[in-house]
Amino acid sequence: MFGLPTGGDFGGFFSEAVRIPYAGYGLAPLPEGVSARAAASVGDNLSDTYSAVAPALRNASGADVLVIGGTGSVGVFAVTFAKALGASSVCYVDTFDPECVELARGLGAEILDEVPRGREFQVTFDASGRPDGLHAALNAVARNGTCHSFGIYWQDVAVPVLSMYMQGVTFTTGRPNVGPVIPKVLALIADGTVDPLPVFSDVVSFEDAPTALAQGLRKPLVVREGY
């Protein structure tokens, strides 16, 4: 939880200075040619997404993948990594964010209005943050397939345990340990396999951040010139 308000006294999202504990381990150098802007999400949701997508596709090479979006960047990042790491096909469902739909389409995903009844996927990802999205992702898993949820639910959510049992579904969720995968994510950015920059909705200055964030922008990139 480093860098979050719930992470103790190490500083928050937009502190002017942040104390870095165990900096020799906690920091990763930017590879040559990778800008700070491109790496802005590497410490959080970009690496979170990679740490879920990479193992799933490593264990199911060439899988058909379903991504259910609705909470902004994570669903699009899931499409990005699934396409980059060898998925046979990627379907994207998102009825809440037209911008993310167009981003996913541009990455080569098949855009669906809803999860097709009876169609199964070896790997599914729920990035909706909604109980109905999670339920749809779990019900769409093929036999012995996997489902990962990026969502944070603030109440108990019912899941279809019987169908999961009969299909042998493996379900994962939880806070990611992104440190070990950051070098791998940076390498994918450095060689051009992954480009996070199009996912950012707006670029705003550090000084304008309070006003910009109050507007509810989808995924603003806050920059501070000279740093």
**Assigned domain for 112 exists:** yes
The total of structural domains in the chain comes to 1
Q: Which residues of the chain have pLDDT under 50?
A: none
The pLDDT assigned to 67 comes to: 98
**Assigned domain for 164 exists:** yes
Q: What's the pLDDT tens digit per position in 82-114? A: 999 999 999 999 999 999 999 999 999 999 999
**46 phi/psi in degrees, rounded to 5:** -65, -45
The pLDDT assigned to 8 comes to: 64
The pLDDT assigned to 5 comes to: 60
What is this structure's pTM? 0.91
**Assigned domain for 186 exists:** no
Other Cβ atoms less than 10 A from the Cβ of 98: the count is 9
**Assigned domain for 221 exists:** no
The pLDDT assigned to 15 comes to: 74
**Assigned domain for 181 exists:** no
Element (H, E) at 50: helix 45-58
Give the CA angle between residues 141, 142, 143 to the nearest 5°.
120
| Residue 30 burial by Cβ neighbours in a 10 Å radius (0-12, 13-18, 19+) | middle
**Assigned domain for 131 exists:** yes
**Assigned domain for 124 exists:** yes
CATH number for the domain that contains residue 109: 3.40.50.720
**Assigned domain for 40 exists:** no
The pLDDT assigned to 65 comes to: 98
- Distance between CA atoms of 73 and 41, rounded to whole angstroms? 10
Which domain range does residue 64 map to?
A: 45-173
